[in-house]
């Protein structure tokens, strides 16, 4: 595998960075795509042997240059940064240019339940990118569908001062996944390319209600935290897309098979274990 180049988009972001770290030392030549090659995150990857290349998902010329000679490519985009329409354009552009560049193996990181036509804008746009990936007929491809990130709970979206705030009922359980596991299975999608060819895998490690998550985080931080259940209309005023997702969590929710993932890929991180590992005072 030492002659196989893998280009990882979003290499300095959460998901792309996790894939790069998990794939380092596995025998590939790693190439990390980033808009900020001089940033600290890029330099940390370079120290692991990742070749850092400058590029932008909106700039086809930079993508063509980055993809030249690559055997594999990992595609991921950020809705909250690009917006729903532009993210879809980016996803389709990157996959199409990868095919044109002669990439043999393509891994697309989508979102949990994207295939279920949920009506959530930032889920359905990824479903359409999935359609593009399938239609391009790569030699092999894998589609990964991570659910709600465990990391989200401690982000400013939810953790605000001494409160964890979400437009969810206290009893509603949400499937969650650690970014570490996205990276781990993302790496497996390249190492086991032939075995996993054409697989579409929803990724989750646990199912947790927000009061339980709040209690765990409070204990790790050594402070008192309160879960506040927000009226969904308050969320909608800030983000209609987010409100639709939370309403879908209440109504339907993700359906990843955690025991099957444990069996096939090794134990997925449970929320308590993730808190102990990553949440520090």
CB 50 within 8 A of CB 12: no
Residue 108 belongs to a domain: yes
CA distance 233 to 115: 27
Q: Give the CATH number of the domain where residue 112 resides.
A: 3.40.50.720
CB 154 within 8 A of CB 279: yes
Residue 272 belongs to a domain: no
Helical axes 121-135 vs 84-100, angle rounded to 10°: 10
pTM of the model: 0.97
* Residues of the domain holding 93: 5-146+179-203+256-263
Q: How far is CA 129 from the centre of its chain?
A: 14
The residues, any chain, with a CB within 8 Å of residue 97's CB and separated by 6 or more, are 60, 63, 64, 67
The rounded mean pLDDT for the chain is 97
Residue 166 belongs to a domain: no
Residue 226 belongs to a domain: no
Residue 10 belongs to a domain: yes
Candidates 135, 80, 139, 138; CA nearest to 111 is: 80
Give the tens place of pLDDT for each residue, 140-184.
999 999 999 999 999 999 999 999 999 999 999 999 999 999 999
User: Number of folded domains in the chain?
Assistant: 1
The tokens for 202 are 């929803």
What is the reported pLDDT for 259? 98
User: In this prediction, what percent of the chain has a pLDDT beyond 90?
Assistant: 99
Residue 48 belongs to a domain: yes
Residue 107 belongs to a domain: yes
């Amino acid at each position: 595998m030492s002659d196989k180049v893998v280009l990882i988009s979003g290499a300095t972001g959460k998901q792309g960075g996790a894939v790069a770290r998990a794939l380092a030392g596995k025998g590939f030549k790693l190439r990390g795509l980033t808009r900020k090659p001089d940033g600290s995150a890029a330099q940390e990857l370079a120290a692991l042997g990742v070749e850092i290349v400058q590029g932008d998902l909106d700039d086809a010329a930079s993508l063509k240059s980055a993809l030249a000679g690559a055997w594999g490519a990992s595609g991921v985009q950020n809705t909250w940064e690009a917006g729903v329409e532009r993210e879809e354009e980016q996803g389709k552009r990157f996959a199409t240019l990868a095919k044109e560049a002669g990439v043999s193996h393509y891994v697309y990181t989508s979102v949990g339940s994207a295939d279920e036509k949920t009506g959530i804008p930032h889920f359905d746009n990824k479903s359409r990118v999935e359609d593009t990936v399938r239609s391009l007929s790569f030699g092999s491809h894998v589609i990964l569908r991570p659910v709600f990130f465990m990391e989200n709970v401690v982000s400013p979206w939810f953790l605000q001062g001494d409160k964890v705030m979400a437009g969810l009922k206290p009893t509603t359980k949400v499937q969650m996944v650690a970014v570490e596991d996205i990276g781990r299975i993302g790496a497996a999608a390249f190492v086991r390319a032939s075995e996993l060819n054409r697989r579409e895998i929803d990724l989750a490690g646990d199912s947790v209600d927000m009061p339980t998550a709040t209690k765990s985080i409070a204990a790790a931080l050594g402070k008192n935290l309160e879960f506040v259940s927000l009226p969904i209309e308050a969320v909608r005023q800030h983000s209609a897309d987010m409100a639709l997702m939370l309403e879908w969590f209440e109504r339907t929710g993700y359906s990843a098979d955690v025991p099957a993932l444990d069996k096939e890929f090794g134990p997925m991180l449970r929320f308590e274990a993730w808190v102990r590992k990553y949440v520090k005072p």
